[in-house]
Structure 1
Amino acid sequence: THTTARYNAKSAREQLLEFSKKLRKAIYEIDPEIKSKLPAKVNNGILEDEITYCKKLIAKVRQDETLASYPKVSERLNILQETVEDDLEHLALSKDEDATIGHKTADTAFFGYKTHLAMTPERIITAAEVTSGEKHDGKQLEILVEKSRSAGIKVESIIGDAAYSEKSNLEYAKEEEIQLVSRLSPTITHGNRRNEDKFEYNKDAGMYVCKAGHMSIRKTSSRPKKHAKDGKGTVESYFFDVEKCKICPQREGCYMLGAKTKSYSVSVKAKIHSEQVEFQETKVFKQLAKQRYMIEAKNSELKHRHGYDVASSSGLFGMHLQAAVTIFAVNLKRIFTLLGE
């Protein structure tokens, strides 16, 4: 489940710029001629200078009691005043160094964390793994299984979405004699690919995400003519925003300076997991797959009834504490419910 960080993915200066801009807009709507009387804006990227500008702007507006008395101006003036006077912790809204940008879909992103959960059919959470927002869901499967086993759970089957059907998980499940009820995705179950540690597949968006957290913006697919029908030899190329690559702090060894495009390609092997393809069509798979809704319902309970949609503090340590307390409370409630049935 996704948890939004307590702090925004904006720097203190960006937040001040936004609030001061909103204040000026409200002022211009009332008195368009006042623009020349306001202090000159700064755009040198220095936080201290932005704070100084905001203080001058606040003082100038407060001098005009009539202008400052307008509700729209007064509200935005107070917000800017509080932001400037706030302490460093609250001013630097991006100081959660562990939180990262993750993606729910190709069009929606969040700044925060992920909590990967394992749960029994009785809806008792048996394991949790807290990670930063960009981490791939499927990579946590083995960790969740081992944690559940250490809690005394006998794991016979695993029900999850397509993120868990990657090759390594299928091999692990077969080795451990576990039924993996997870539909195959031709992109996730690809064969060998280069730079596996630098690019991870986001099953929600259907795109790859680089190590810096940037998601590809489009993809193309090609294959040899002789394999037009069977799909063998298919290569999918994922293209990234070059403008982001140019200024990315991790561009060395990833983006060639001056290049007009940046792409990442994977070879998709059709029907590489024939056993899983056959298993997907069985009554057992289809019946077990119907139970997956329970984890989504549990995610909703954690977020909407216990405030797990937003982090209560900053950092992974704080997120671990919040996860432990929240999951303990949710499990306790469920146990009491089961005892009462």
Structure 2
Amino acid sequence: MPQDHLLVRIQQLIDFSFILDFVKDQYNLFYGRRAKDPDMLFRLLFIQKLYNLSDERVIEETKVNLAYKWFVGLNPEDQLPDPSLLSLFRVHKIGAGEVESLLLEIVKQCVEKGIVKSSTIIIDATHTHSKHEASKPLQVLKHAAYRLQRSVKKQNPKMLKKLPVMPEFAGDCREKEIQALHYLAELGAAVEELVPDAEGALKQRLEETRKIVEDERLLAWKGVQSAIDPDARFGWKSSTDSFFGYKESIAITEDGIITALKVEPGNASDPKAFPDLMKQTKETGLVVKEVLADKAYGSFTNLKLLDKDGIVPTIKLNEMMLYGHQDEQREKFVYHKDSETVECPAGHHSIRKARMGPKDGNECQRLTFFFEIEKCKKCPLQAGCYKPGSNSKTYSVPVVPEFKQRAVEYHGSEEFKARYRMRYKVEQKNNELKTHHGLGTSRYSRGLLGMRIQAVLTAIAVNAKRMVKLTCPQIAH
């Protein structure tokens, strides 16, 4: 094998033996036939993601490509497994564990070998379209019923005659949807009664049916939109551009190594993934000194988390974080620091103050000033300030903690502007994952679990490429 071949360099850089420990609990040493080597199967999945191949294609390519065969540990004359075994290994062996820990092992090796030089991580989110088109509720229900019937037919064709027949749905669209939902529930109950110990594909179809029937959001056109991919959701790339599928929140080093990954349905909130990404990154052994992210991640809680660990937040702050709530009327109130009172537009001073809001430290408390209500009732300037009939008049200002104040000051500096421009690197990484390695569309039909497996395997392949590039820049990918 040529020493400058990409797979040769990956073999030299990465120890794939961690997969043996990861899947060991999924094999029985004493019963059944001897299993195919997990290391070989994992390497086939790695090649699949590295070169963006299907299960069938990676097996066909490996039959004739000596580099592939060498990498998976086979001799030229050795036979390759059936493509279906890759799917079984992916779902029942890899999917049985915490799949994100596979990425963790790769990043740990990067850190231990000194490949990662940067102490900065960049965070962003991207999306993956479900390969199954979103459907209207009636289509979802009919499709789920057909899939369940097919599974029953494959297992026992005679049993199909014992199941309730799908009726002709009548009435308007809403009435048809309700009738279809009732039929699907009836069908699922009948199958469960006939096959109480269902396994394999039939068990999966029954679980899908139960999930759809019990999800009250379906008929409200919210939530489940695909009988085949029930975990997929609608998300928004902008105020006018939506997608149906999943969202991947990604953390990378400034060197381009993916350190953490969180996969969620498409409607997930970006900032909530931030603590998990930081936690995963810390577990790799990487010392983080700076985080770059857009304003979706600039929440009070996230800034506080970074401040606790002494990490510089190069995060774009939104208007509310920068200025708080502002309006013309509020700007007319004046705070006097010596007397610690607030003067209203009519010249009246507050009579007392109190600190309000939660004390858990997860959001700003507010300093609230109270005015003498009898004066407000007679005030000629009460329009837009005091609501007639109210029992109190208050004015509140946020109690800004030091870490937020520091973040706001840094946000306006030239250093912040220069560092923030480095965010383009995570956007390039997202494009690489989707355009060259298939993360733009979901590949598997296992809902969120399948998407997590796909995303982690893709991230491992992309990290391997980057490791080679960082240690041996002259080798082409």
The reply to whether residue 225 of structure 1 matches residue 329 of structure 2 is yes
Residue pairs, 1:203-214, within 5 angstroms = none
What is aligned with 1:8? 133
CA contact (8 A) 2:292 2:313 kept: yes
**Shift in Å, 1:319:** 0.6
What is aligned with 1:280? 411
Of the candidates 300, 306, 323, which is equivalent to residue 431 of structure 2?
Answer: 300
**Shift in Å, 1:188:** 5.8
What is aligned with 2:307? 174
What is aligned with 2:230? 97
Q: Which runs of 5+ in 2 are unaligned?
A: 1-125, 143-169, 181-204, 209-223, 335-395
Distance 2:333 2:245 in 1: 43
What is aligned with 1:125? 258
What is aligned with 1:77? none
Q: Secondary structure at the match of 1:223?
A: coil
Task: String of CA shifts for 1:250-307, please: whole Å, max 9, x gaps.
Answer: xxxxxxxxxxxxxxxxx99698733212101233322221110000010011111111
Q: 1:9 to 1:154 in 2, by over 3 A?
A: same
Of the candidates 322, 334, 339, which is equivalent to residue 466 of structure 2?
Answer: 334
Task: String of CA shifts for 1:39-75, please: whole Å, max 9, x gaps.
Answer: xx9855548x99xxxxxxxxxxxxxxxxxxxxxxxxx
Distance 1:334 1:42 in 2: 59
Q: 1:188 to 1:275 in 2, by over 3 A?
A: closer
CA contact (8 A) 1:142 1:169 kept: yes
Q: Secondary structure at the match of 2:319?
A: coil
Q: Secondary structure at the match of 1:309?
A: coil
What is aligned with 2:92? none
Taking only the aligned residue pairs, the percentage that are identical comes to: 32
Distance 1:104 1:143 in 2: 22
CA contact (8 A) 2:225 2:232 kept: no
What is aligned with 1:143? 276
Q: 1:116 to 1:189 in 2, by over 3 A?
A: farther
Look up the equivalent residue of 2:463 and give its one-letter code: N
Look up the equivalent residue of 1:284 and give its one-letter code: E
Distance 1:334 1:304 in 2: 16
**Shift in Å, 1:98:** 1.3
CA contact (8 A) 2:247 2:265 kept: yes
**Shift in Å, 1:163:** 0.9
Q: 1:268 to 1:311 in 2, by over 3 A?
A: farther
Bigger Rg, structure 1 or 2:
2
Distance 2:442 2:333 in 1: 49
CA contact (8 A) 2:225 2:233 kept: no
Distance 2:315 2:280 in 1: 20
Greater relative CO, 1 or 2 (CA 8 Å, sep 6+)? 2
Q: Secondary structure at the match of 1:306?
A: coil
CA contact (8 A) 1:189 1:268 kept: no
Distance 2:458 2:413 in 1: 37
Look up the equivalent residue of 1:175 and give its one-letter code: K
CA contact (8 A) 2:322 2:408 kept: no
Distance 1:287 1:222 in 2: 29
Q: In angstroms, what is the RMSD of aligned CA positions?
A: 3.7
Distance 2:289 2:450 in 1: 33
Of the candidates 303, 311, 324, which is equivalent to residue 442 of structure 2?
Answer: 311
What is aligned with 1:58? none
State TM-score, norm by structure 1.
0.55
Distance 1:177 1:338 in 2: 28
Distance 1:150 1:329 in 2: 20
Task: String of CA shifts for 1:109-140, please: whole Å, max 9, x gaps.
Answer: 11111111110111010110111111111111
CA contact (8 A) 1:162 1:183 kept: yes
CA contact (8 A) 1:124 1:334 kept: yes
Task: String of CA shifts for 1:20-56, please: whole Å, max 9, x gaps.
Answer: xxxxxxxxxxxxxxxxxxxxx9855548x99xxxxxx
CA contact (8 A) 2:140 2:226 kept: no
Distance 2:308 2:269 in 1: 22
Distance 1:111 1:268 in 2: 41
More off after superposition, 138-147 vs 269-278: 269-278
Task: String of CA shifts for 1:168-217, please: whole Å, max 9, x gaps.
Answer: 011111111001111210246798xxxxxxxxxxxxxxxxxxxxxxxxxx
CA contact (8 A) 2:271 2:296 kept: yes
Distance 2:274 2:232 in 1: 21
Q: 1:317 to 1:190 in 2, by over 3 A?
A: farther
**Shift in Å, 1:102:** 1.1
Residue pairs, 1:142-291, within 5 angstroms = 142-187=275-320, 223=327, 225-227=329-331, 273-291=404-422
Look up the equivalent residue of 2:439 and give its one-letter code: Y
